[in-house]
Structure 1
């Protein structure tokens, strides 16, 4: 007996990538070429570089990455949004769904913020909003967040956004300073929403 796909191929790419409103004057929107300086800045930010494997960007390489974000939506590989002021202006962060398995109904949330967005609580709201979109509009069953056990800020975001800690994956990700154990957080479509 064949198990049907949780999310049929073509469902995501048939939709335009939505703009998602957030409380507090923020929104999630597709990345635009004028956001390239935010990617360049992420490559120079020590916190982003320590906890993420984003790499460094020239302006041209950042524009190529933004084009790839759009291509990944169309090929249903990932859904990446810019965290930006609702009044307009460049991105101050990134949030998205990567490692998408539409047939299996799962994906991984990833995120980072430049200093201009930190301390506002926006990433908790963004994580919850992307999760709701992934469950309600796209139809995924399970989302996960992984982060170094040495990154308590990311752990707090995951917990506040409704992703309980499920366990620790030993030596799961190589960072610049060596192998890190990673926390695994998960949220199901059937979990109670806050």
Structure 2
């Protein structure tokens, strides 16, 4: 029998899977809601958007593939691997995505990622959504440390990190392979109590 760890998990296994994914309202009138199969066209459009393709490794080639990815999003919630929301107007189609990947319940951490379609850009939605999912990750899920990373060339994501009060912690050299080669990445973080 393996010895028990002297350090208890920050968040007990099963906590995320036991939750129903909530709809999170934003003061701007947007909302964060679970992805639906009828959002497949928005996911497909995102995979064709040059800005999203440049900074994200999103590959979706058909509506059927988009629906499969949406089903995987729900499965990854149940498996406690990620928590992904659509950014939408109430009752409207998805215009963006935000969520937590690389969730480590025992260690108390996760990494935020996001993208917006053109109609949602420029109004502070990414910042507001990042702040909202960060509060949820601390207050509802119980995580301790949240990360935000981006290519050093992605100045828009750097502004989102700064405005969402993620502290800059350094540059990770040659950290992520994009279509145009290896990129250095900035590492920003938010720790419970920072907000």
* TM-score of Structure 1 vs Structure 2, range by shorter chain: over 0.9
* 4+ aligned runs moved over 6 Å, structure 1: none
Match of 2:193?
190
Match status 1:20 vs 2:24: yes
- 1:111-122 pair list within 5 angstroms: 111-122=114-125
Aligned with 1:142 (options 127, 142, 145): 145
Q: Deviations over 1:55-101 (max 9, x none)?
A: 13310000000000000111101000000002x11100000000000
Aligned with 2:56 (options 33, 52, 57): 52
Q: Where does structure 1 lack aligned partners over 5 or more consecutive residues?
A: none
- Deviation of residue 3 (structure 1)? 0.7
User: Which has the larger displacement, 28-37 or 53-62?
Assistant: 53-62
- 1:31-180 pair list within 5 angstroms: 31-86=35-90, 88-180=91-183
TM-score by length of structure 1 reads 0.97
Match of 2:13?
9
Match of 1:30?
34
| Partner secondary structure for residue 67 of structure 2 | helix
The 2-side partners of 1:79 and 1:18 are apart by: 10
| Partner secondary structure for residue 112 of structure 2 | strand
Q: Where does structure 2 lack aligned partners over 5 or more consecutive residues?
A: none
Are the equivalent residues in 2 in contact too, given 1:39–1:57 (CA < 8 A)? no
- Deviation of residue 149 (structure 1)? 0.2
